[in-house]
Amino acid sequence: MTDQVGLLVEVRNGPGVLHLLTGVIFRHGGDITSVAILDSDKPVATVFFEIGGTDAMEAIETEMRGLEAVVQVERTNTLQKVYGKRLIIMGGGAQVGQVAIGAISEADRHNIRGERISVDTIPLVGEKALADAVRAVARLPRAKALVLAGSLMGGEIETAVREVREKGLLVISLNMAGSVPDAADLVVSDPVQAGVMAVMAIADTASFNIARLKNRVF
């Protein structure tokens, strides 16, 4: 299997354009692992593909350049190579900020050693807003772990946590009131330490495995 490659394709917007592009990739044996459409409301949009499974990238680029709808084709790095794994932190603003301090500091330590981990934060309040956001993390590309940072979470948020854990997402919760801590993989009282442990749990350059912990509350 060849390494994945990023491909930026500027196209004139119109029906069927995506079908044309994916058809080119298919004909040359490419496996599309990710696709995103940027500026879809403008006359010229950009389609970003991540493609693996083929050594025929030059042929793909050449055929795409011959399409009437295509303006420009550029090969680039994949988002996995540039930004790597994603850690998502959500909840109350003050707690989110403290978790981010630990996560960013620890991510920096691993990224210097060749790892790629990026940290995303979103302060949110309200049961429905948080539950919707938790479920959406499972749809985010490259998202490996979620830290829930707040003082009270339960109800529909707990249900959402259990759903995303079933899909393989690691969930760490601050030690808070409500039922979310009961549903999480790991519960950490100190927010800075929660951020540190979340990064350690997803870093290939760290010898830390949550599954091997005897305790799940710290």
The full DSSP string for 7-35 is EEEEEE--TTHHHHHHHHHHHTT-EEEEE
pLDDT mean over 182-189: 94
pLDDT mean over 45-67: 93
Q: Is residue 174 pLDDT above 60, yes or no?
A: yes
Percent of the chain exceeding pLDDT 70 equals: 98
Q: In terms of pTM, does the model score above 0.75?
A: yes
Same domain? For 100 and 203 the reply is yes
Q: What is the span of the domain harbouring residue 128?
A: 83-212
Cα gap 186→174, rounded to integer Å: 8
pLDDT mean over 124-129: 94
Tokens of 207: 């010898």
Where does the pLDDT of residue 2 fall: very low under 50, low under 70, confident under 90, or very high at 90 and above? low
Same domain? For 64 and 12 the reply is yes
The helix or strand, by DSSP H or E, that contains position 186, with its residue range, turns out to be: strand 186-188
Q: Is residue 214 pLDDT above 90, yes or no?
A: no
| Number of domains within the chain | 2
